[in-house]
């Protein structure tokens, strides 16, 4: 999918913009606690809105990919795929599996 790199870039740019904005606002406030808190709260609100937009778009992409996979299979294959996908996702709750995954070299 061509949208995945674009979504990752949007998330990365939003995070970089957040850090830049907080740094500039922090310098403007010259260390005054109330000024810094207000500036950070405003930056966080903007960050949340942008990240929410990225997650909504990623969720749409996920749904469309799943729909395409299911449409390309028969009912039995689709059910098996969804069952294995669910098992895969449940595996992420297994701490030992996660530790082993983190140790894997890519």
Q: How would you write the pLDDT of the chain (106 residues) with one tens digit per residue?
A: 578 888 899 999 988 888 888 888 777 777 677 777 887 888 888 888 888 898 898 888 888 888 988 899 999 998 899 888 888 887 777 788 778 877 877 5
The domain ranges of the chain are 1-72, 74-106
Cβ-contact 14, 50 below 8 angstroms: yes
- Whole-structure pTM value: 0.61
> Residues 1, 19: contact at Cβ < 8 Å?
no
First-to-final CA distance of the chain:
21
Task: Please state, in angstroms and rounded to a whole number, the distance separating the CA atoms of residues 100 and 97.
Answer: 5
pLDDT the model gives residue 31: 66
């Amino acid at each position: 999918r061509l949208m995945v790199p674009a979504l990752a870039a949007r998330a990365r740019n939003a995070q970089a913009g957040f850090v830049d904005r907080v740094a500039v606002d922090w310098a403007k406030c010259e260390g005054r606690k109330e000024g810094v808190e207000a500036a950070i709260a405003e930056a966080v609100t903007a960050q949340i809105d942008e990240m929410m937009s990225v997650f909504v778009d990623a969720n749409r992409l996920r749904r469309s990919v799943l729909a395409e996979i299911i449409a390309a299979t028969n009912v039995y294959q689709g059910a098996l795929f969804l069952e294995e996908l669910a098992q895969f996702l449940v595996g992420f709750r297994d701490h030992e599996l996660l530790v082993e995954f983190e140790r894997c070299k890519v």
